[in-house]
Structure 1
Amino acid sequence: MHIAAALLFCACAAAASAGAAELGARLAKADSARGEKVFRKCVACHTVEKGGRKKIGPNLWNIVGAPVGAREGFRYSSAMLAFGGSWTPERLDAYLAKPRGFVKGGSMSFVGLKREQDRADVIVFLSGMGDSPADFGKTLEASAGLPPPEPEDYGVMVAAPGASETFDACTSCHSERIVAQQGLTRDQWDELLNLMVEEQEMEPIEGDARATILDYLGAHYGPGRPNFPQN
């Protein structure tokens, strides 16, 4: 029994070490500018600048390495408070992949970032949004080997002007498939955005961003189209 337990411990330790090494390699290749772009999915619920206000979620300045659930003035779920510890890169990577799967009972509705390199890029971006950014062992060789940006992936949504802004705004809370199933006029989409703010506490989308999103939705998800694209 003791031998089996020791072997299991060694196997778990080896897996953890391999996982840390794999994340370290991704972080060494990560690009903050790409991370900032991916982070657009998060801006409906979070600010990241120093002194930024809380929204549905807390401000994320200095979040890398910070204690979990400790932002003053923000009301965290009991699950997040019980989680404890600090936001290490490893924890952030796992949390960004599947928030509710990593913190059981947590309240964040974001579905997660499937692409491993997207998560690494966001972590490096967030590290830069703090008083002491980490370099994560970056080297010239790692930078030279940086892969080209992957093409934008909008899931089942139509790839057209405004798709990026719409996809980022909508998938911060739900699947893009919910959008693709609708058939509303531009005015009806406008009313729906207002309703989401009033009833779901969504952060308001205003100005040019709102106009771009409404133009896109009205053009591609109006009443004159099939409710769901056939792939």
Structure 2
Amino acid sequence: MRITAIGTGLALCLGVYAFPSVGQEISEVIANADPAVGERLFRQCKGCHTVDQGGRNRVGPNLYGVLGRSVATSEGFRYSSALRDFGGEWSLDRLAAFLENPRKAIPGTRMSYRGLSDIAERANIIAFLNTMSNEPRLFSEAGVDAAEGETDVPAEDFGQLVIAEGVEETFYTCTACHSEMIVAQQGKTREGWDELLEWMVEEQGMGELAEADRNTILDYLAEHYNTDRPNFPRP
């Protein structure tokens, strides 16, 4: 496996649109990024993307080896004209800007993700994506050493959702597109939640959930956000 050094310059803006200048900042943050934390954060992306080698395209393309890959080149995926016209490669700077605000970074993209403003969280996700590659890049020698050893993953924050079995799957599935408050404010039967998930897949472009994850989420929602429960989490 070849490990190459990643540049710290500005992104290659070869397409129609230009990203905001975030290169130096992300280059500094990425040196201390934690792939283990990034893997956890990536759960909010799993509804639309696979990241394993040879993984299938979903609503979004497979992201294995995305760092350094040419834009709009996942085999078999139908990209928007905005992505095809943009061209170039997914550099560190480009990924950081796109994750922050996809529709601002590339107007016309079909990606519905609301974006991630915290640059440290974006760096963690990119660090994780970097490990899912035949040629992971070297951000810093210290970063490589940390990735090979044990990492101290911070406690997870599920916002307004009740902490119980299934909260993790529910939180990361729902917050890919909107705040968890939208979940907390509703009350539906299990059948009602099931119909809503089906609608999200058929009409809103959400990726199909694995049966086990779907049942876990439905069990959680039926238990804690049913019609006979308060619309907001219990104290």
2:120 alignment partner, one of 109, 117, 120: 117
Give the corresponding residue for 2:215: 211
Match of 1:34 in 2: 37
Aligned: 1:152 with 2:156: yes
Aligned residue identity for 2:42: F
Counterpart-to-counterpart distance in 2, 1:30 and 1:142: 12
Matched residue, 2:16: none
Conserved 8 A contact 2:31-2:143: no
- How many pairs does the alignment contain? 214
Q: CA RMSD in A?
A: 2.6
Relative to its length, the structure with more helix (as a share) is: 1
Change (3 A) 1:97 1:140: closer
Whole-Å separation in 1 of the counterparts to 2:122 and 2:107: 20
- 76, 86, 89: which one aligns with 2:89: 86
Tell me which of 171, 174, 180 is aligned to 2:178. Answer: 174
Aligned-residue offset at 1:132: 0.6
Identity %: 48
CA contact (8 A) 2:36 2:153 kept: no
Indicate the structure (1 or 2) with the bigger Cα radius of gyration: 1
CA distance in 1, matches of 2:117, 2:186: 25
- Matches of residues 58-137 of structure 1 in structure 2 within 5 Å? 58-137=61-140
- Which residue identity lines up with residue 212 of structure 1 in the other structure? T
Q: TM-score, normalised by structure 1?
A: 0.82
SS in 1 for 2:141: coil
Tell me by how many angstroms 1:218 deviates: 1.1
- Superposed, 1:182-197 pairs within 5 Å as 182-197=186-201
Shift of 1:148: 5.0
Q: What is the alpha-carbon distance in structure 2 between the residues aligned to residue 141 and residue 201 of structure 1?
A: 37
Match of 1:50 among 53, 76, 93: 53
Deviation at 1:176, TM superposition (A): 2.0
Change (3 A) 1:199 1:72: same
Encode CA deviations 1:101-138: one digit per residue, 9 max, x unaligned: 21112110111123222111111111111111012113
Q: Which has the higher contact order (CA 8 A, sep 6+)?
A: 2
Range that drifts further, 154-163 or 109-118:
154-163
